[in-house]
Each structure stands twice: as structure tokens, then as C-alpha cells.
A and B are shown apart, each in its own frame.
Chain A
Amino acid sequence: MDNQKESLVQKGKKELDKRFSRLVGLSSSNLCVRCGLCVDACHYIMSDGKDLAVSPVAKAEQVRQVYKKHHDWLSKVFPRWTGAQKLTEEKLKDWREVAYKNCSMCQRCTVNCPLGVDIPAIMGATRSTLSSLDLAPEMLTMLADMAISREENLDAFRNSFVNQIRSMEKELQEKMGDPSATIPVEVQNANFLYVPLSGAHTILPAAHIFNKAKESWTISMYEAANYGIFLQDTARSKKITDRIVNEAKRLGVNEVIITECGHAYSTFRWTAPSWYDEPWPFRVRNLVEVIDEYIQTKRIKVDPEKIKESITLHDSCNLARNSGLIEEPRRILKALVKDIREMSPNKERNICCGGGGGLVANPEWAETRLKAGKPKAEQIKATQAEVVVASCDNCRHQIEELNDHYDLKVKVTGLSEIISEALI
């Protein structure tokens, strides 16, 4: 038993070293002047204000103390002076809550830090370390493994997938009153490969828009979600990414368009390319960028009188703060909504809904997640809007739960769905 404990700690040290670069570790540690601005910026603190142990600086410090113990000469010699601590099995288990439960990796602390200390990078290294030690939340690991297994056995459900798409296609034709409307599957040399999630809500509205724009497009059997990134497990994440990269190459498309899903887009657009030796022979964009282009170039037209309700836009952390898609959804909404009510703060300083970082898929910590979503619920309530548009499926799940939990009495929808309603 003692040997087992020792081996977990020894392995933990090695894994942490691999993932916790000097830049992330010591430089971040030395840069931080303990000003406390990240404390006020964190939605976990905003929702409670009492438990400072969940503040960004305190969470990062728990990991930095261990890193310092092994890499900083002063900490090695005089650990009490610097607060350096040994890695223990108990500490590794505590980190599970530090990095997975009490941080949604929203990056708001970094944006508010005058020195740009990247605390989510520290949390990411911690998540990755825990994942390599099999200490990550079981549900996230299961979802990542399920996605990998599914893609390895695609032929087993090819017929049912195609039947489902044909059924959606009929629905689309009825909606458009156009028997030629189509949802193309695995079409070679289409202009782009659209990568949806598995639900019809990410396929039908987008198909409506693409058909109206007379776009050359295709879908395939792969979906966009990447649970490996929540584990910060590059091996699992890359296996999930590979299938889209290989499919885009096989089909010879010019672009890959990722649906309204924050983590899927930021992973595929910003993180994954560095895992490959060669640049990809296709461009990557988000569906929001494509719709914005269609509207700006008048390739699709929307009825500005169709949407009567007041609408507020929730900026997804991964799409807005971390990917820069801030003005695109606003330009789209302005084309079809008269009463837009901005949340405050918004754009790159928007408050996380509390469901990011894989939390929304983990029932183990639902209570914490709903509590951490209180500032978002209050933001929504303050706008008195009737509809919340969330251009990320993860945020949408969470806001729907916040809607029930905090009795917000709003309708929650996606951007492509609302465009589809107003298309002429």
C-alpha cells in the first residue's frame, strides 16, 4: 500500500514536471503580485464571496507551492520561507476539486490580471497531470473514451445515421417549401465540411441557412465535441481531432466550419494545429463567422420584423474571450432584432455561465456549478430580456438549467436557430 502511494506521488511529480513548463510555473509565480484583481473577476467568488480558497490566485498557489519545492533553489533550501510544499497523495486528490470542480477555465482572471498571469494554464497543467494519473472525473474520461470508440466503429451505425439525416432533410424541405433542399453527406470537393454536434438543433438550422445561401457544403459522420480537451489530455484530444482533419482531407474541402460549440471551436481552431507537423490544407472557421459573412454580403436575407422579443446575447468564453468572436454575433443580431439588451459586463469581460471546462457534463458537481452560475443568472435577469441567445451548446445547457434554478423565465436558443426563424 505504501509502495502504491509512493508510486502515485512519484508519478505525479514526473507528470507535473512534463506539463508544468518553467514559463507557466515559476515565471507565473514570480509575476503574480497578489493584487487580488483575479479574485474579484472570478465567478466562483462573485457567487459566494466568502470562500477565498476557490479564488484563482489561491487555486494556482496550491499547485505552484509544489512546483517551487522541486524547482526553485530558495524553496528547496528554505521551504517555510516560500510556502513550498511536498507533493502528497492527499494533495493530488485535493487538486481534483481545485482544477476540475472549482475552475471552468474561462480565462476571465487572466484578462483582468494586470500582468497577464495565465492561471487557467496552471489549472490545465494540473488537469492534465491528474488525467494521466487516472484521477480525473470519471464522467469526463468516459465521454472522451466513448467519442473515440464511436469514431472507431462508424460503420456500425452508418445506416441509422444516414436515415436520421434523410428524415431531417424531409423536415427541412417542408420548412423551406422546397423539395430540392438538401443535407449533403460526405460529398467530395464541397466548399466546406460542416461539423455539427449530434443533436438536430445544430444540423437543421445550419442546413436551412446553407441552402438559402446556395452553399457548396457537406456534413459527415463526425461531430465536433472534444471531451479530451476538458481532461487536457492531448493524446485523447488529438485522436478526436484526427477524425475531422482526416475527413476534411479525404473529402478535399476548402474549409472546416465548426458549429456553435465553444470548446470544439477553440480546440480545433487554436489548440489542435500545433499537434500536427504539417499545416492543414483547409481553413477553419466557426458557423457564426460564416453567417456573419452571408448577411454582410447579402447572400442570405432576414426579415427584420420577424423577431419581436427582446434579446440578450451571452458571450461564450471560448468563442468571445478566447477566440475573438465578439462583433460577429452582434452584427448578425442587429440585422434581425430590434430590441437587443447587452449584459454588463460583456464581450471579452463577459462572466462565465459556470458550465465551462466540462462542468456541465459532470453531475457530480451540479450544485457547485449552479451556484457558480448565479452571477450569470443575475446578469440575464438585469437585462429583463425575453430571450437569451447562447452561441455555444455547453453554455446553452447551463443557461437552461440556470433558467429553471433561478426562475429566470427566459427562452434560451442558439444563434443559427434564431436566424433560421427569420430567413426570407
Chain B
Amino acid sequence: MNEEITVAKTLDLKGLLCPMPIVKIAQAIKEIEIGEVIEATATDPGVLADVPAWASTSGNEVVSLEHGDVITFRVRRIK
């Protein structure tokens, strides 16, 4: 559970509105290797629902999703 995660790519999605955060993540996931992780920060509250839904339909994994003033999430490329 305390697995150390190495982030292969970071994305600043702050200020982007739906659907652009998901569009950017869907593009970026293709630029990393299977098993690697992207960390992104966003401000659009829509990503709280969109990121898990996108991961579920695209077959990738949400490693973490935290929200305060800024939403920070990590996704792992599975396929």
C-alpha cells in the first residue's frame, strides 16, 4: 500500500474547463509507457467525476484523486 510511485509526466491543467482536462490526459497517457504514472493538477471540479469515468472507459487506473483548492490526481497507464 505504501508503494513509492515515480511520476513519469506532470501536467498543469489549472484553468482548463471541461472537456479539455480529459482531452489533455487522454493525449498525454499515450506518451508514457505502460505502468508509468501521470500526475496532474486541475481546477475544474468536473474532473472529480470525469477522471474516474475516463479511466474506467479507457482501461487505465486512477492511483489517487485529492481535492482542496486545487485538484491533484495521478493516473497509471494500464494498456
Hey, which bits of chain A sit against chain B, CB under 8 A? 139, 142-143, 145-147, 149-150, 153-154, 156-157, 160-161, 163-164, 197-201, 221, 223, 225, 227, 361-363, 393, 397
Contact = CB atoms under 8 A, between A and B. Distances in A.
Binding site secondary structure of chain B: helix
Interface of B: 17-20, 22-23, 26-27, 44-46, 48-50, 52-54, 56-58, 67
Contacts of A197: 17-18, 46
B56 A149 contact: yes
Contact of B27 (A147, A153, A363): A363
A229 to B, nearest CB: 14
Contacts of A201: 17
Given A157-B48, A160-B67, A164-B45, A146 B54 contact: yes
A200 B22 contact: no
A362 B18 CA distance: 13
Contacts of B57: 142, 145-146, 149
A295 B58 CA distance: 45
Contacts of A147: 53
Binding site secondary structure of chain A: helix
A161 B49 contact: yes
Top 9 nearest A-B pairs (CB, nearest first) are A198-B46, A150-B53, A164-B45, A149-B53, A199-B17, A198-B18, A145-B57, A157-B49, A160-B48
Contact of B48 (A142, A145, A164, A225): A164
A150 B46 CA distance: 10
A161 B48 contact: yes
Contacts of B58: 142, 146
